[in-house]
Structure 1
Amino acid sequence: MDEMTTDLGARRRRGKPVPRREPVGKGGRKSGKMLAVLALCAAVGAGGIGIATAPGRADAEMPSEAASPMRNVAGLAAPVVKAVELGVTPTDGAKAVNPAAPASVKAVNGTVKDVVLERASGGGRVPGTTSPDGSTWTAGDPLEFDTKYKYSFTIVDQAGRQTKKAQTFATVAKANEADAAVYPLNGTTVGAGQPIEIVFSEPVLNKEAMEKAVTVTASSGQAVAWRWYSDRRVRIRPEAFWASNSEITVDLKLFGVDFGNKMIGNSDTKASFKVGPQRLAIVDDITKTMNVYFDGQLVKTAPVTLGDAEWLSPTGFAVIMEQERNSKFNAGSIGLKPGDKGYYPPLTVEYANRLTSSGVYVHQALESAWGAVGKYNVSHGCVGLLPADAAWFFNNMKTGDVVQTLNTGAPAVEPLEGFGDWNIPWAQYAKR
């Protein structure tokens, strides 16, 4: 018997009250209940996340989240609305933004309203539309170059709570704009041999992307190939001459196209031109004659004189670049000066049809050379005709028509010496 039992017995014999003894283990359960209550309080104080799903029963129900349509019955207070994820394009503070970039405001787990996109300087509001579910606003017009814009909008979460936002951004400066010029010009009529030429204001680094941005359509259905002569100059032609009386459209979707080096296309351009009959003049140095064909039919034969032994006429295909009823010729343009062999004083020639940039023409021969026409060569590379034939050629052939010269012993016309593109085999033409 332990000391405590002995002490209790003595107290009973003396008639003194005996202290009540708690059963073993009951104090432990009381401590556990207190710890559970403290844990519950701590959890609620920390936000209540998790306690709402814990097993057990609360003695009193707690109110639901205020004004939340997601909770309509009483229960533990806990977050039930997901945070709104906001996506704004362009981003806040962005610079050198491509004006073609789609401007938009998008909310995930919420909606947007009262969206205003306008010039920061005032006015110039950009129209836009909001999706049926209210989650996305999209600009309806492209932006402008070299402009600072400001956004203002309101986002609404799933509990109906609203937050107003404001952002700014700036588009590409004018110094970084790029464009292009197309030949033939819109609305013109040219010969069947005229290649399309596009000259870009800035170097094109991504040529493949540029070729996708430009569409060439021929009413004849002819396929075309591109020939890049530099980063800024490209020519486009079909395998054979353009079909007679066809119409060609060049559609340049350049707005927003990245040329490279931070240069951005500033506009879309479309040019359409018509093609006349297929007109081809074939000049043969052996026979000293010119045969002219319209759509494959011989319509004219004329005698010619060509370049002499020191100034051979170039061979191959050339395209008439321009026509002048009277054209001033100067020997200095081909590197001759007074005293040089072959020099001639400045003069005016009749019925001039330019074939090359360096000065090869089809024109009326000088009167002093009329006796050589059809017999021998006396020119500096030009094709000389008698007056009546020169007038006929000038009046019946047009820019874009083709002159093919044979058997002179000289190389073919270089592509950039005018439009010598037809001297490049089709299989090689599209190679960069």
Structure 2
Amino acid sequence: MGAWGGRRRGPVVGLVGAALVAVLGLSGCTTGESIAATGGPGAVEQTTQAPAKPSAKVTATPAADAKDVSPGGPITVAVADGALEAVTLTNPDGKQVKGELAADKKSWAVTEHLGYGKTYTWAGTALGTDGKSVALAGSFTTVKPKRTARASLNTGDGQTYGIAMPVAVVFDAPVKDKAAVEKAMTVTTTPVNEGAWAWLDESTAHWRPKEYWKPGTKVEVAVDIYGVDLGGGTYGRDDVTSAFTIGRAQVVKADTKTHRMLVYRDGVQTHDFPASMGLESDPGRVTKSGTHVVMSKHATYGMTNPKYGYENVVVPWAVRVSNNGEFVHGYAGSIPDQGKRNVSHGCVNLAPANAKIYYDTALVGDPVEITGSTQQLSKADGDYYDWALSWDKWTSMSGAAN
């Protein structure tokens, strides 16, 4: 019994010891998490691969082989999943175009205008998040216009104008695509003054506020037409800009029936002058009713009207208020009639001393509101008839509305 029992017990002990060694061996090379993840002891351990990082994706605008590109832009390069290392754009003469790389190196943009009818070549690289470089290459060609047109502004940098001053843009060729050109013209005001563009003819656009300008307004005008298709194969030749200020609020109110001309400064009447205006019995001499705008000032001016038989009659302190020959000016010859009768050929006559007082206060852009006559200011009276139009009529003349 003892011998058999000893032989029987030995193998049992050996089996238990082997099992214990196996368990201890397993626990020494596999964590509890691995067991749970792989289904327990004896399962095959799996390894998860990290996703590959993407390569850089470079987009050039315009794209390679693009034709008839506007030289005014936009001309840009952008990258996704990476950063730009270097970008160059070279003209046909091998000269690099000026450009600027964004601080985050995600984009690059041209900072000067390109030329018309030229081929430009891209070069450069972008480094992707995968650590590999991607090349930028290709060429594009800018449009070659049939003709180019210039634009000019009626306002000058650093000048101060009156509260009725319109912004006038005059093109030296007809504009067929007025909507596109209007989008390229902006008027920025501080403080905000509501206003709109209107096309007075095929080559003239004016911007005016809905109401008179707020005194002290800072105005910046940008006519960014370079590279813009004006229609019919005509493109803008140059950009034009202007920055100016609106001055104090001075308004003239002249009444052909009372024969008086009153001056108001910031809402307060400052002067009341006797005046003589256009002779009502002659349709060719009537001073037009409506809001005129001071256009220019002349210490002396020679008046000529062949129809009425006078030439180069020099008058003092002449302030032009329309392009139909209407001025506010001094004229000693009509002093006996001033304040009593209208005898002029359409101008507002004042005594020379009074004309000098008014001349010294006037700014180009001041409104001169004339009432009482039998004729109204209109398009036939020249450039600055803007205020003769209602706001609804004005906005109906925009490029977007036509």
Q: Same fold (TM over 0.5)?
A: yes
C-alpha deviation, 1:85, in angstroms:
9.9
Within the candidate set 350, 354, 370, 2:316 is matched to 350
Q: CA deviation at 1:384?
A: 0.5
1:391 aligns with 2:356: yes
Which residue is equivalent to 1:231? Answer: 202
Q: List per-residue Cα deviations over 1:148-172 (Å, max 9, x = no partner).
A: 3234568999x99999897444323
Shift of 1:414: 3.2
Instruction: Kindly indicate whether the alpha-carbon contact (under 8 Å) linking 1:256 and 1:266 is maintained by their aligned counterparts in 2.
Output: yes
With over 3 angstroms needed to count, the CA separation of the structure-2 counterparts of 1:418 and 1:126, relative to structure 1, is closer
After superposition, give the CA deviation of every residue in 1:42-68 in whole Å (9 maximum; x if it has no partner). xxxxxxxxxxxxxxxxxxxxxxxxxxx
Instruction: Indicate the SS of the match to 1:292.
Output: strand
2:374 alignment partner, SS class: coil
Largest Rg, 1 or 2: 1
Q: Is the 8 A contact 2:220 2:244 kept in 1?
A: yes
The aligned residue for residue 93 of structure 2 is 121
Who is 1:286 aligned against? 257
Q: Which of 237, 240, 245 is equivalent to 2:216?
A: 245
- SS for the counterpart of 2:278 is coil
Corresponding residue to 1:359 among 325, 331, 348: 325
Cα drift, residue 289 of structure 1:
0.9
Does residue 302 of structure 2 align to residue 331 of structure 1? no
Q: Aligned to 2:345, what secondary structure does the other structure show?
A: coil
CA shift for structure 1 position 418 = 3.6
**Match of residue 98 from structure 1:** 70
Describe the shift of the 1:278–1:413 C-alpha distance in structure 2 as closer, same or farther (beyond 3 A): farther
Deviations, residues 18-52 of structure 1 (Å, cap 9, x unaligned): xxxxxxxxxxxxxxxxxxxxxxxxxxxxxxxxxxx
Q: 1:312 aligns with which of 282, 286, 308?
A: 286
Cα deviations across residues 104-161 of structure 1 (Å, max 9, x unaligned)? 678999999876431222223555659999xx9845434521333234568999x999
Distance 1:328 1:105, change over 3 A: closer
Per the TM alignment, residue 213 of structure 1 is displaced from its structure 2 partner at its CA by 3.1
Residues 102, 373 of structure 1: alpha-carbon distance in 2 compared, 3 angstrom cutoff? closer
CA drift of 1:290 comes to 0.9
* Alpha-carbon distance in 2 for matches of 1:110, 1:247: 43
Q: Which amino acid aligns with 2:115?
A: F
Q: 2: CA distance between counterparts of 1:128 and 1:245?
A: 36
Alignment CA distance shift 1:171-1:314 (3 Å):
same
Partner residue in 1 for 2:333: 368
Match of 2:201, SS state, is: coil
| 1:364-422 per-position Cα deviation (integer Å, ceiling 9, x unaligned) | 12x33222222212211111001211111111122111111111212224376241211
Distance 1:406 1:379 in 2: 16
Other-structure match for 1:408: 373
Which residue of structure 2 aligns with residue 273 of structure 1? Answer: 244
Residue of 103, 115, 120 corresponding to 1:145 = 115
User: What are the ranges of 5 or more consecutive residues in structure 1 without an aligned counterpart?
Assistant: 1-83, 337-341
1-side partners of 2:251 and 2:126: how far apart?
69
Aligned residue pairs total: 342
Q: Is the 8 A contact 2:123 2:135 kept in 1?
A: yes
2:333 and 2:82 mapped to 1: Cα distance? 90
Could you tell me how far apart the structure 1 residues matched to 2:122 and 2:254 are? 68
8 Å CA contact 1:148–1:170 kept in 2: the answer is yes
| Aligned CA distance change for structure 1 residues 344 and 168 (closer, same or farther; 3 Å) | same
Q: Distance in 1 between matches of 2:102 and 2:348?
A: 68
Match of 2:391 in 1: 426
Letter aligned with residue 406 of structure 1: T
Q: Does the C-alpha gap of structure 1 residues 166 and 238 become closer, same or farther in structure 2, counting only changes over 3 Å?
A: closer
Do 1:217 and 1:250's aligned partners in 2 also have CA atoms closer than 8 Å? yes
Alpha-carbon distance in structure 2 between the residues aligned to 1:277 and 1:112: 52
Amino acid in structure 2 at the alignment position of 1:120: P
Distance, in Å, in 1 between the alignment partners of 2:205 and 2:188 is: 17
Other-structure match for 2:36: none
Amino acid across the alignment from 1:357: N
The CA distance in 1 between the partners of 2:104 and 2:137, in whole Å, is 23
Which residues in structure 2 correspond to 1:251-270 (within 5 Å)? 251-265=222-236, 267-270=238-241
Shift of the 171–201 alpha-carbon distance from structure 1 to 2, 3 Å rule, reads: farther
| TM-score, normalised relative to structure 2 | 0.72
Q: In structure 1, what residue type is equivalent to 2:159?
A: T
CA distance in 2, matches of 1:368, 1:412: 26
Pairing 1:216–2:187 present: yes
Matched, 1:379 2:344: yes
| 2-structure distance, mates of 1:239, 1:130 | 40
| Deviation, structure 1 residue 173 | 4.1
CA distance in 1, matches of 2:78, 2:219: 42
Once the two structures are superposed, the pairs formed by residues 50-69 of structure 1 within 5 Å of their partners are none
The answer to whether the Cα contact below 8 Å between 1:90 and 1:104 also exists between their aligned partners in 2 is yes
Alpha-carbon deviations, 1:309-342, whole Å to 9, x = none? Answer: 211111111011001001111223xxx2xxxxx3
Distance 1:320 1:90, change over 3 A: same
Gaps spanning 5+ residues in structure 2: where?
A: 1-55, 398-402
